[in-house]
Structure 1
Amino acid sequence: MNRDEKAKIIQNIREKANRSCIAVVTDYKGMSVEEMTQLRSNLREHNVEYQVVKNTLARIAFEESSHSAIKDKFKDCCAIAYGFDDPVVAAKVLVDFEKKSKKFQTRFASLDGKYLEGTSLKALSELPGRDELLAKTLGTMNAVPTNFVCLFANVIRGMLNALNGIKEQKENA
């Protein structure tokens, strides 16, 4: 591989790292092609890219990226998962695959430039995703006006019941 090819690879890695909100470094040693294909398709469904990298090229690329916290940690067989939308979803997919596979392992990650150990990544994967949090927030915001309307409807209903009672009393008298 000549210098130009290496420069293109470094630029590609740096570009993906700068666009991503999370970069997870994994160990894929011993995985079969079928397992890798399955992992990549699972990740692709959630807008996460998975790339096998050379350690030296990754170190150089991550030096000037938003995930420079992990630049010195690349050792052995490394592959990087870049999460572009929701970091929790990327972590969930990787941790779930790690539970199923005996050979796949998540090592560490960088979340918006902050270093995360493997245990922190597992804790991140247990959090609710962005869509779920938005739904809960919307439900909470919707509950206040709904309860307000129900409260006034009950006041009006009580008033109507009282007026109907007075009407019936006058009719009977």
Structure 2
Amino acid sequence: MGRLPRRAFRVFRHGLPIFPASHLQDVGNIFLGGKHLPTQAKIERVAEIKEKLERCSIALTAGYSGIPVNDMTELRRRMTEAGVEFVVIKNTLANLAAEEAQVPHFSEIIEGPTAIAFGYADPVDTARAVNDYIRTTRSPLSIQGAIMGPGPILPPNEVERLATLPSKPQLMANLLGQIQSPISRLMGVLNGPLQNLDGLLQARIRQLEEGGEAA
């Protein structure tokens, strides 16, 4: 940022600089009254993460310290293929977004360089995608925890257990199979006597027909 002309601001007796609106974009962050005023980009970033936290079925945090840039690119690609949105954001902005989204406890699983994996469908799929990536690549990526809506925090071991559960389609298929199996057995039991009765009727019809011909 270049040096601002003297006419760009005036100073109150307390020594605090007051910038006209036309220069706020040039100034960026202003230290005023002990606080930094956020830039528009940061405000929009917080709003974006807030929207994701409100919309997702699971938000999983992971520490990515020590991961090379090339590996991070591959990680993003793998997550995208699995339907997971993998976002790197400054912790302060993530904490602000959590407050805005009414999930302040989310900040408890944000520590150090942290990325957030957002899943919008089955939470099991998101947990499995992250866990499988760590397992198959021996990546230093470390799961810190997860939240599913306003519920309690899932610690890393619970996230790993979640990753081993069957997905919703698998559960539905298993349930359907369990329902169909007794029905199939019942139909077999019911069809048995009916088939026997049909055989008896056919035999009786043939007997009557043969008797009529003999007469």
Common topology (TM > 0.5): yes
For the Cα contact (< 8 Å) 1:11–1:61, is it kept in 2? Answer: yes
Q: How many Å apart are 1:145 and its aligned residue?
A: 4.1
% identity of equivalent residues: 28
| Residue range with higher mean Cα deviation, 125-134 or 143-152 | 143-152
Structure 1-normalised TM-score?
Answer: 0.86
Higher deviation after alignment, 81-90 or 70-79: 70-79
- Summarize the Cα distance change of 1:56–1:120 in structure 2 as closer, same or farther, 3 Å threshold: same
Partner of 2:98: 62
Q: What TM-score do you get using the length of structure 2 for normalisation?
A: 0.70
Q: Is the 8 A contact 2:109 2:144 kept in 1?
A: no
Change (3 A) 1:78 1:155: same
Between the two proteins, the alignment pairs up a number of residues equal to 172
Would you say 1:13 and 2:53 are equivalent positions? no
2:110–2:144 contact (8 Å) kept in structure 1 = no
Query: For 1:130 and 1:120, how far apart are their aligned partners in 2?
Result: 18
- Deviation of the 1:159 alpha carbon: 2.0
1:101 is matched with which residue?
Answer: 138
1:150 aligns with 2:156: no
Q: Take 1:64 and 1:116, find their aligned partners in 2: how far apart are those partners?
A: 21
Query: In 2, are the aligned partners of 1:59 and 1:72 still within 8 Å (CA)?
Result: no
C-alpha offsets along residues 47-105 of structure 1, whole Å, 9 cap, x if unaligned? 21000010100001011225432124322100000010010000001111111323111
CA distance in 2, matches of 1:41, 1:166: 72
Give 1:165 deviation, angstroms.
6.3
Q: Give 1:44 shift.
A: 1.4
In the other structure, the counterpart of 1:115 is: 153
Q: Distance in 2 between matches of 1:41 and 1:159?
A: 64
SS of residue paired to 1:82: strand
- For structure 2, which runs of at least 5 residues remain unmatched after alignment? 1-27, 30-37, 211-215
Match of residue 37 from structure 1 = 73
C-alpha displacement at 1:7, in angstroms?
0.5
Could you list the runs of 5+ residues in structure 1 that have no partner in the other structure?
Answer: none
Quick one: which amino acid aligns to residue 102 of structure 1?
Answer: S
Q: 1:48 to 1:70 in 2, by over 3 A?
A: same
- Aligned equivalents of 2:75, 2:92: Cα separation in 1: 24
Aligned residues of 1:23 and 1:109 also touching (Cα < 8 A): yes
- Structure number with greater CO (CA < 8 Å, separation at least 6) is 1
State how far apart, in whole Å, the 2-side matches of 1:161 and 1:91 are.
Answer: 57
